[in-house]
Structure 1
């Protein structure tokens, strides 16, 4: 029996060696093919070709290789004023197609899924040498590998019929010069077609895109896992669907910022490195900071309140936050972007609720208006129903007790006995969302007056609420939901230091612990006005608005317990 581990080790070693050998052979084959491809592309330059100065591999490219009258353009701005003119376009080769030895087509792509058809044709005899397009030039262009970056000079012309496969369908480019600036390898780890297919394997749960199980896979285009996507990050990010998601994300931040600035909010920058665990809780990342321990911020909560204590009336931040939760689900990440605000309360905490409700509805309506093309593109890959928003004046706001009662009366049988003094589970939230949609015709709603057992220590208890038999009381705190999922938590904060210390102790946290002690002390240094705010998950807003199968798709570089690179 003692020899068994050695045999296992030897077997493992042999397998590893074979695997390494196979990988080396694959890399060698890839390098050989790349060399052959390069040879094909440069062979034409070695013969007596009258067009040899009009194409080739150029690194770096010089403006001198183009005609003086040629205008640099991008596809987004290409219009009728360019028809018949000579232009320069820098783009990626999406694909090429040989029509004959004298004619070929190429599809060129710019950022944001802007594509156009390009044509290259051998010019007839007698063409001035400065305008000649030769057979070797046609051959060179058809040999350019997909995803290579090129610069072309071309005449803008009208096609005989609109090119429906391209976003720019009413024009095409007739190439007169073509230079490969950055060639792509012959074999891609992830093709654009595969990158633009729905991801169904997120390597965390058995997640499927909406409707994916009923769809036939595209011929010759296998679906790739999230693991493959992130291991081929450049192609993942080049996929039109990912660029559309990223563009929508950008608009969400812009809409959030512009709405609040127009209402007197000041932006500030909370720290990510802090000296004590945020809010005194667990699930925090610890790291060495010179000769002491430091933490990654779980929330900018304390710092938002410090800004109010420091004399600001209204503040907001857009910053990363970190949670050391070992949750491998499509709803969780260990790093995400928070959209946070805090504001002084004049009369009632409902001022905060209405401000947050206003900014979110502004974001959702703004996305629909600004990003119609991007939404359509995302839905072509991840089908979903239109998100239902309440009409002005018909916003749905339920107390926690009302929401639980609605679930007991109209929800599934399993939720007939839910209690008003216990927090909602994820299945409860989803079931309630379905009931609200059917009853109120909206996917967006607010649940207010959460029990104090389900809120953090800084949440203000509703002074008018009566304690339950177990001593549980309602708070001036709320959650916002979209498509059955929580996207925001907020409410009024405690601004009295003695009340705050009492609540902290009641939550089982030592008021004298590092971070908490300094937090309470801030409220003893000066008189801090009543205030409240909320935190919005940017990634979740994007994911749930688009009904994506995983929040990971809404992040630029998702961080999970299993993913730290790239």
Structure 2
């Protein structure tokens, strides 16, 4: 108890209340310096300043918190959320108007469009520009800008549009407006779409195997007998051109290119014009089979396949069936269909499958009637292409430059005999062709050299060579009665390259058998015996015709570097896909 009394402090000695920190500091300073501290007025002023700064910081924190809350609310409450997004089925109320039909009457009016995203570019966080391609090279600029109140377009919507991968397929509702300046990168340059709704129907890949720029440029090279042939016409920047193989391995982008769609449109019109002319001239269409029981040309270049314990072949031509139609009383027929050649030819003008445009007709007085008909159909095609496909031809020529296809005037068609063509080569052709003979078939370099001579001499890219050597024609070709060394057979040429072979056929069975034996073909072989017997079943009138290669006509007319560019899905010795 005595010890407790010693350690307890008496009440009178309790410590004084804590002084303000400023006072303590001031006192310490005063004690140290031996001088008087700040006045009460100064201390009050400092305290007021500190309180003011604290209030300012509090208000700033409250503003920051309010901004963050507003942003969070905006992020969670997207007023435009129903106006965009991924949807497979889309229904829009605005009228559909094709881009090619836009005019000033549409300004300020809503339209809907389904198109591919060709390009996109963000302009800050509230605006995005997109190029929309409807078909071919018909494209337009779309503009999407965030609305002040977030409806019908929000910032989230703009951001979403800017992130859509290229070549995605979208549905758009927008208002047509005039741009400030023409949009040079789009075909529809004098209008633009102010987008209010946009839905992605099918997304493109994050990385394209072939870009649109490359697919719409001239190919850089292609394979010829295992060697890559560079193409001088391809002047695209590095990375903006691709090989033919790359194109075909990325077939969808290859086909989407405005260039390829233009080529396909020309091809479609060649086919239509062929049928149009023939129908007007009393020809009837028919469909020959592709599966046959014997090689139609009597040669080895056929695709064989097993057929229920027997052998079958893919038709090298519809030749036999065209003749059967004539024997069957049709008089004038045509057909359009696939032709197969099992030839290991890896050249810019050969494919193992191509589309044939074939005709056959009765001959009344001379086989030249057939030549005149074939000239008529081809001139009809060439003259009408310039009108029907003007834009497409111009587009192709902007990428693969070529001179317009030259045709002879009516009544001035160029028809030479094979011997006359060889004579021209000997007299006016390159040195290596000065010794060509009249009984040897023409090589491709000879054909091209003769084409150059004829263009210079006669001013035409289209001509006929007649009276081919007997040795260069199949067993059904009729020999010239006045000179059995040649046949009543002909080839048609475009830009110095053959597009069609034809001639008068043998219509009498005894003559046909003799000719077959002369050519080393057994008339009693399976399939051939049945063919000969067709002409024994009833009297068959004299007849002739020809087979035109559709792919070659398109490729040579447009002066394409490779016939595969004119085909939808080319087949070659090295390609069975796609």
- For residue 203 of structure 1, give the secondary structure of its aligned residue in structure 2: strand
Q: State the alpha-carbon separation in 2 of the partners of residues 537 and 349 from structure 1.
A: 21
Q: State the alpha-carbon separation in 1 of the partners of residues 453 and 163 from structure 2.
A: 57
Is 1:246 the counterpart of 2:264? The answer is: yes
Moved more, 249-258 or 413-422: 413-422
How far has the Cα of 1:518 moved from its partner?
A: 0.7
Task: Provide runs of 4+ in structure 1 moved above 6 Å.
Answer: 43-46
1:442 matched to which residue of 2?
460
2:86 matched to which residue of 1?
57
Size of the alignment, in residue pairs?
A: 505
Q: State the alpha-carbon separation in 2 of the partners of residues 563 and 105 from structure 1.
A: 40
Within a 5 Å distance, the mapping from 1:231-310 to structure 2 comes to 231-310=249-328
CA deviations on 1:157-186 (whole Å, 9 max, x unpaired) are 122232222111221111000111101111
How far has the Cα of 1:201 moved from its partner?
A: 2.4
1:87 matched to which residue of 2?
111
1:224 matched to which residue of 2?
242
2:160 matched to which residue of 1?
140
- For residue 315 of structure 1, give the secondary structure of its aligned residue in structure 2: strand
Within a 5 Å distance, the mapping from 1:4-403 to structure 2 comes to 47-61=76-90, 63=91, 66=92, 68=93, 70-125=94-149, 131-204=151-224, 205-209=227-231, 211-212=233-234, 215=235, 217-218=236-237, 221-403=239-421
Is 1:535 the counterpart of 2:547? The answer is: yes
Whether the 8 Å contact between 1:72 and 1:87 is mirrored in structure 2 is: yes
Moved more, 380-389 or 430-439: 380-389
Is 1:492 the counterpart of 2:504? The answer is: yes
Q: State the alpha-carbon separation in 2 of the partners of residues 46 and 290 from structure 1.
A: 68
1:10 matched to which residue of 2?
none
How far has the Cα of 1:76 moved from its partner?
A: 2.6
How far has the Cα of 1:123 moved from its partner?
A: 2.0
TM-score (norm 2): 0.85
1:561 matched to which residue of 2?
573
1:426 matched to which residue of 2?
444
2:47 matched to which residue of 1?
none
Query: Higher RCO, 1 or 2 (CA under 8 Å, sep at least 6)?
Result: 1
Q: State the alpha-carbon separation in 2 of the partners of residues 289 and 247 from structure 1.
A: 37
Q: State the alpha-carbon separation in 1 of the partners of residues 408 and 304 from structure 2.
A: 43
Q: State the alpha-carbon separation in 2 of the partners of residues 440 and 332 from structure 1.
A: 28
- Where do 5+ consecutive residues of structure 2 fail to align? 1-71
Q: State the alpha-carbon separation in 1 of the partners of residues 240 and 186 from structure 2.
A: 22
Moved more, 380-389 or 182-191: 380-389
Q: State the alpha-carbon separation in 1 of the partners of residues 477 and 404 from structure 2.
A: 34
Q: State the alpha-carbon separation in 1 of the partners of residues 515 and 455 from structure 2.
A: 36
TM-aligned CA distance change 1:209 to 1:441, over 3 Å: farther
Cα RMSD over matched residues?
1.7
- For residue 447 of structure 1, give the secondary structure of its aligned residue in structure 2: strand
CA deviations on 1:392-433 (whole Å, 9 max, x unpaired) are 222111111111111111111111111111111111111111
Q: State the alpha-carbon separation in 2 of the partners of residues 81 and 316 from structure 1.
A: 47
Q: 2:518 aligns with which of 492, 506, 511?
A: 506
1:28 matched to which residue of 2?
none
How far has the Cα of 1:208 moved from its partner?
A: 3.9
CA deviations on 1:413-469 (whole Å, 9 max, x unpaired) are 11111111111111111111111111111111100111111111111111122x5xx
Larger Rg: 2
Q: State the alpha-carbon separation in 1 of the partners of residues 232 and 405 from structure 2.
A: 14
- For residue 88 of structure 2, give the secondary structure of its aligned residue in structure 1: coil
- Where do 5+ consecutive residues of structure 1 fail to align? 1-42, 468-472
TM-score (norm 1): 0.87
TM-aligned CA distance change 1:410 to 1:45, over 3 Å: farther
Q: State the alpha-carbon separation in 1 of the partners of residues 105 and 514 from structure 2.
A: 71
1:415 matched to which residue of 2?
433
